[in-house]
């Protein structure tokens, strides 16, 4: 069974600074997808960024980018120019290539401080 580990329960960052959230996972699959989801306080989960395991190039979405290390089974999220609206729980998630349900980590609570 796949597992996803987020080792940082809470993090904080100053507005406009850069922060990196860590995620490691365990799988015996070769083809899979990785995701970062954001869950703001009392609001619904939204997708931040996705990475296909067969792609060597790291995904980027505006201020959000990932560092995908397939051999190390590591998938970190970097948020540049942090904004107050980035305050949220961030979940790392895994999905195998068969489009099975997502496996989530326990989350990292990020606070952006003015």
Partner 1 sequence: DTGVSQDPRHKITKRGQNVTFRCDPISEHNRLYWYRQTLGQGPEFLTYFQNEAQLEKSRLLSDRFSAERPKGSFSTLEIQRTEQGDSAMYLCASNYDYNEQFFGPGTRLTVL
Residues that bind partner 1 (CB under 8 A): 4, 6, 33, 35, 37, 43-47, 50, 91, 93, 99-107
Q: How far is the CB of 12 from partner 1 (least distance, A)?
A: 17
Give whichever of 6 and 82 is closer to partner 1, judged by the CB atom.
Answer: 6
Which is it for strands 46-52 and 32-39: parallel, antiparallel or unpaired? Answer: antiparallel
Nearer to partner 1, 35 or 68 (CB): 35
- C-alpha to C-alpha distance for 88 and 71, rounded to whole angstroms: 29
Question: Which is nearer to partner 1, 14 or 60 (by Cβ)?
Answer: 60
User: From start to end of the chain, where are the E strands?
Assistant: 3-5, 10-14, 19-21, 24-26, 32-39, 46-52, 60-61, 64-69, 74-79, 88-96, 103-104, 108-113
CB of 16 to partner 1, least distance (A): 28
5's tokens: 């580990």
Instruction: State in angstroms the smallest separation of the CB of 32 from partner 1.
Output: 11
Nearest distance from residue 2's CB to partner 1, in Å? 11
């Amino acid at each position: 069974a796949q597992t996803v580990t987020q080792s940082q329960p809470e993090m904080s960052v100053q507005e406009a600074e850069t922060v990196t959230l860590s995620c490691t996972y365990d799988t015996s699959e070769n083809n899979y997808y990785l995701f970062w989801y954001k869950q703001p306080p009392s609001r619904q989960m939204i997708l931040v960024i996705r990475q296909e395991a067969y792609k060597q190039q790291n995904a980027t979405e505006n201020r959000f980018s990932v560092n995908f290390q397939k051999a190390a089974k590591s998938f970190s999220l970097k948020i540049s120019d942090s904004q107050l609206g980035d305050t949220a729980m961030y979940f790392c998630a895994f999905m195998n290539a068969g489009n099975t349900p997502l496996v989530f980590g326990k989350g990292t609570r990020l606070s952006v401080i003015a």
